[in-house]
Structure 1
Amino acid sequence: MINGSKRISQPLRWAMVGGGRDSQIGYIHRSAALRDQSFALVAGAFDLDPQRGRAFGIELGVDPERCYTDYRSLFAGEAGRPDGIQAVSVATPNGTHFAITKAALEAGLHVVCEKPLCFTLEEAQTLREIALSRNRIVGVTYGYAGHQLIEQAREMIAAGELGDIRMVHLQFAHGFHCEPVETQSQAAQWRVDPRLAGPSYVLGDVGTHPLYLSEVMLPELKIIRLLCTRQSFVKSRAPLEDNAYTLMEYEGGATGSVWSSAVNAGSMHGQKIRVIGSRASLEWWDERPNQLSFEVQGKPAQVLERGMGYLHPQALLDDRIGAGHPEGLFEAWANLYYRFALAMDAADRGDQQRLATLRYPDIHAGVEGVRWVERCVQSANGGGVWVDY
């Protein structure tokens, strides 16, 4: 269902912290947020180097007076303006997420934060308490959840087309860091530095992505305990892992596994989710995001295509172009940013009924991602033992 006028009534006045000129993720944030005219970029603290950040902000069309030196001056400066910002995106290294998000919420702002939300479950729960008490929206950029066929999988599972769920196999295992690329790349250096990345590398960086997809597809499936082992195949990365295996047990008897890796040599992305039931299985691969494999025992395998009329209405809501034309990462992120905008607008209007109808990676998803990483690290550091979730 293509909607060429997709937008909210009034664009949200929006800023960025981080996401400067050389930031790949910053470009993705802006491309997604601005696509449906739901946000207007009016301010920012784009770079650790204030002069470089100011120059970049001006290139983006931001008023020089609203290109700030850091997030503190950004929030203070905008608070004093009648046209001050309503929302901010945090596109900075992991170690800064908690402080910036907390300050933004306390300034009365909605937040879109890169994952992981923060380092510890205690920090994550603090952010949730502030967000809920102030009626502020926190969106977490699990961007792959914006692909439409994730919704199709959710609806098919809910309708019982797979039968009883028995196994969930998750992986995000690329090969781009199979060598110590961080010695040559500043963008990679912070990811393997515990001071900046936190208690994990690939568990938090890639493993939480398919984990969230499983939460969307299988909202009733709850982890009761897990076991994790992790390795640093590039030894200089220790104590942070560049490869990890996690086993999970769910309520009701289903089991799951997650392979998180940056050293799967030769793999471009390797993010897949396969859900196996008593009658059939589903599989989605982010390198082929417009297709969903559906395999019924005893019947020929099917491939469901994005945009086709046989899909569930929920899987057609975010279509931006007709079937056969491939949609990709920027469209998926734009779908999430549009949902973030709808939620922020509803929160500002006090429309709790509308908020209840919106699904997006929210503060609760952010908390669960932090919880999962914390439990995985606890298990691995204990020698690969089962720990209660």
Structure 2
Amino acid sequence: MLYGDRKTKAARRWAMVGGGRGSQIGYVHRCAALRDRHFDLVAGAFDLDPARGRAFGADLGLDPARCHADWRSLFADEARRPDGIDAVSIATPNNTHYEITRAALEHGLHVICEKPLCFTVAEAEDLQRLAEEQGRIVGVTYGYSGHQVLEHARELVAAGELGEIRLVNLQFAHGFHNTAVELENPAARWRVDPRFAGPSYVLGDLGTHPLYIAGMIAPRLKIRRLLCARQSFVASRAPLEDNAVTLMEYDNGAFGTAWCSAVNAGAMHGQKVRIVGERASLEWWDERPNQLSWEVQGEPTKILERGMAYLHPAALADDRIGTGHPEGLFEAWANLYDRFALAMEAGDEGRPAPVHYPGIAAGVEGVRWVAACVRSADQGGVWVDYR
């Protein structure tokens, strides 16, 4: 169980790019990073408007001199300080991720970046090469993967409890954009604009979350080829999709589906991961994140609860409050930032990371999956080789 005692030797001198006033995800980043005292927020470039960004930084209690006009001045000025930052989180629109992440790595910083990591596989692989050359950690915020029952699911697969995996069913299908909400909502507007969002909307924004979770639970499964069809039911969003269905063949013969949608009218969040083996199945639904459904053929379904002693020690290690109390998104993100901090410290000391976490390889994989889905869909929904 986690009790808030810091597991690293010292707090990181940490900054944010983006995530300013009115940013819901910026608040999530800060709550997660500061939870276990692994990170100390000392600087930032929080807004495209320098004055508004400085005012927000001051409201956070930062030194006004370290509330920078933009990310370029943030990196340059902090590099000249003996107490300058050594890690940065990037919470900006998708079209900026590659340039800012690359600059951060060139300044020797560890990076935590929103997904998707960038637009193209070539850009993602370039960041991977640079991160390895610099010996820096790049974490990607697949925040839902921090829910502790997913660690138990991972251990069930590793122990062979499901038998050979046959089916992988992924879903992230909500209904909150079933109309053109972007006409009135700036936070939604950039997500459906290819200049800022990149080559996809729901595939990249939603689908990469359950894709990463499935890969975390069953890391030996590798996609061999896929077929994707995508639609723009709100016509003004074209060429970006607000609904997509992807079929996937894995190298062990397993078959997968992924439904990504922002027009699933009436649905709240709709993210589910179901993995079916020859003997048993498991399912996780992020609207009930503290439970894992465990279904053995011929036996009653079991609902495994967060925090219970019957869970694997790897799941209990992420526990933050006693059994029966519900944990949620903020705890999941805090678990992720805890792992990022441990990986950064290990990297600084030349050691392998002592924990698994969504790193640069996960970021590359997400970009590769979106690119393959778009390629398939734009050719009329044909099977395409994945690698």
TM-score with structure 2 setting the length: 0.99
Q: Is the 8 A contact 2:215 2:221 kept in 1?
A: yes
**Is 1:379 equivalent to 2:385 in the alignment?**
no
Q: Deviation of residue 351 (structure 1)?
A: 2.3
Look up the equivalent residue of 2:342 and give its one-letter code. Answer: L
Q: Is the 8 A contact 2:4 2:37 kept in 1?
A: no
Look up the equivalent residue of 1:375 and give its one-letter code. Answer: A
For 1:205, the equivalent position in structure 2 comes to 205
Q: Percent identity?
A: 71
Look up the equivalent residue of 1:386 and give its one-letter code. Answer: W
**Is 1:322 equivalent to 2:322 in the alignment?**
yes
> Secondary structure in 1 aligned to 2:303?
strand
Look up the equivalent residue of 2:370 and give its one-letter code. Answer: V
In 2: Cα distance, 1:3 partner to 1:34 partner: 14
Q: Deviation of residue 350 (structure 1)?
A: 2.0
Structure 1 gaps, min length 5: none
Q: Deviation of residue 2 (structure 1)?
A: 3.8
In 2: Cα distance, 1:347 partner to 1:294 partner: 36
For 1:190, the equivalent position in structure 2 comes to 190
1:78-89 → structure 2 map (5 Å cutoff):
78-89=78-89
> Secondary structure in 1 aligned to 2:204?
helix
After alignment, is 341-350 or 70-79 more displaced? 341-350
In 1: Cα distance, 2:184 partner to 2:236 partner: 14
In 2: Cα distance, 1:12 partner to 1:292 partner: 34
In 2: Cα distance, 1:71 partner to 1:7 partner: 30
For 1:146, the equivalent position in structure 2 comes to 146
For 2:77, the equivalent position in structure 1 comes to 77
Look up the equivalent residue of 2:130 and give its one-letter code. Answer: I
For 2:299, the equivalent position in structure 1 comes to 299
For 1:36, the equivalent position in structure 2 comes to 36
Q: Deviation of residue 36 (structure 1)?
A: 0.5
After alignment, is 105-114 or 339-348 more displaced? 339-348
In 2: Cα distance, 1:222 partner to 1:129 partner: 22
For 1:179, the equivalent position in structure 2 comes to 179
Look up the equivalent residue of 2:202 and give its one-letter code. Answer: V
Q: Is the 8 A contact 2:149 2:292 kept in 1?
A: yes
In 2: Cα distance, 1:244 partner to 1:173 partner: 10
For 2:284, the equivalent position in structure 1 comes to 284
Structure 2 gaps, min length 5: none
Deviations 1:322-364 (A, max 9, x none): 1100000000000000111111111112223xx2x32000000
> Secondary structure in 1 aligned to 2:366?
helix
In 2: Cα distance, 1:9 partner to 1:62 partner: 23
In 1: Cα distance, 2:159 partner to 2:3 partner: 27
Q: Deviation of residue 72 (structure 1)?
A: 0.4
Q: Deviation of residue 6 (structure 1)?
A: 3.8
TM-score with structure 1 setting the length: 0.98
> Secondary structure in 2 aligned to 1:220?
coil
Instruction: List structure 1 runs of 4+ shifted beyond 3 angstroms.
Output: none
Look up the equivalent residue of 2:112 and give its one-letter code. Answer: V
Q: Deviation of residue 274 (structure 1)?
A: 0.5
Count of aligned pairs between the two proteins: 386
In 2: Cα distance, 1:114 partner to 1:341 partner: 16
In 1: Cα distance, 2:164 partner to 2:104 partner: 43
For 2:125, the equivalent position in structure 1 comes to 125
For 2:331, the equivalent position in structure 1 comes to 331
In 1: Cα distance, 2:40 partner to 2:3 partner: 20
Q: Deviation of residue 67 (structure 1)?
A: 0.5
Look up the equivalent residue of 1:169 and give its one-letter code. Answer: N
Look up the equivalent residue of 1:382 and give its one-letter code. Answer: Q
Deviations 1:189-239 (A, max 9, x none): 000000000000000000000000001001000000000000000000000
Q: Deviation of residue 162 (structure 1)?
A: 1.1
> Secondary structure in 2 aligned to 1:245?
strand
In 2: Cα distance, 1:50 partner to 1:373 partner: 33
In 2: Cα distance, 1:273 partner to 1:344 partner: 29
For 1:114, the equivalent position in structure 2 comes to 114
In 1: Cα distance, 2:350 partner to 2:278 partner: 43
In 1: Cα distance, 2:314 partner to 2:6 partner: 16
Q: Is the 8 A contact 2:151 2:314 kept in 1?
A: yes
> Secondary structure in 1 aligned to 2:42?
strand
Q: Is the 8 A contact 2:4 2:35 kept in 1?
A: no
Look up the equivalent residue of 2:362 and give its one-letter code. Answer: A
For 2:54, the equivalent position in structure 1 comes to 54
For 2:238, the equivalent position in structure 1 comes to 238
In 2: Cα distance, 1:173 partner to 1:31 partner: 26
Q: Deviation of residue 7 (structure 1)?
A: 3.6
> Secondary structure in 1 aligned to 2:43?
strand
Q: Deviation of residue 8 (structure 1)?
A: 1.6
> Secondary structure in 1 aligned to 2:167?
strand
Look up the equivalent residue of 1:195 and give its one-letter code. Answer: R
